[in-house]
Each structure stands twice: as C-alpha cells, then as structure tokens.
Amino acid sequence: MFRFNHFNFNVMDLERSLKFYHEALGLKPIREKNAADGSYKLVFLGDGESDFSLELTWLKGRDKPYDLGEGEFHLAFTVEDMDAAHAKHQALGCICFENPAMGVYFIEDPDGYWIEIVRKK
C-alpha cells in the first residue's frame, strides 16, 4: 500500500518562502537536511495535523526563477473557516485567482507556485 508522504517546491529565497508558508498557511519546519558542501538545503514543513509535508528545496547559486511550465499543477489545502482564510490571504495580498462558483480560490507563493484553498467538508 502506498501513502502520500511529501511534495516538493524548489525556491529561490528560502527565508522568504519559510516566512510566506508560516504566515499564509501556518506551516512550520519539522525537519531539514543540509548538504555538507552547502550546495543545497531541504526544509520540510508540516501542518501539525497530518503526516504529509511540503519540502522546500534551496539550491546554492541558483540565480534565475524556476520554469513552472504552464502553471497547471498546484498543491491544495482545506480550511474550516473559508471566510477567515480568504480575509487573511487578501490582507497578505497573495490571492491570485478566485472561482466563487466552485467555492475555491488560489494563493501564489513568492516563487509563483499556486496553492488552492478548499473549504473542508
């Protein structure tokens, strides 16, 4: 039996991304791995509820944004209080797309990754 474990986003500025994920989604580092030669750093973020984690990968010397293809992939989070979440993300200025008919909206992280916010059923 296979179970979800983690998902990865490569990021340009690790500290900026850590701040974003903490402020926007309440995620906190749960473990990290540093290359002995300083060439990369991995930080795994957790929500404190599930075993699933988001891995942020920083690569030393990376100086151009990552190619996100056509931007059709995304990560999704559920939230119980959609109105409060929307107000928080609106105040942070990170909402990039809304679909009221479907009852979802998307926020964008500092590297351009989209994150879907869905009401918990």
- 10-residue stretch averages of pLDDT, the chain, 121 residues long: 93 98 98 98 97 97 92 91 97 97 96 96 85
Residue 82 lies in a domain: yes
Residue 66 lies in a domain: no
Are 71 and 83 contacting, i.e. CB atoms less than 8 angstroms apart?
no
Q: Which of 23, 55, 98, 116 is catalytic?
A: 116
**Spatial separation of the C-alpha atoms in residues 25 and 41, rounded to whole Å:** 21
Number of domains in the chain: 1
Q: Counting beta carbons within 10 angstroms of the beta carbon of residue 82, is it exposed (0 to 12), middle (13 to 18) or buried (19 or more)?
A: middle
Task: Output the pLDDT for position 72.
Answer: 82
Task: Output the pLDDT for position 83.
Answer: 96
Instruction: Determine whether 72 is an active site residue.
Output: no
Residue 38 lies in a domain: yes
Name the residue range of residue 20's domain: 6-61+71-119
CATH number at residue 44: 3.10.180.10
Residue 1 lies in a domain: no
Residue 83 lies in a domain: yes
Is 0.85 surpassed by the pTM of this model? yes
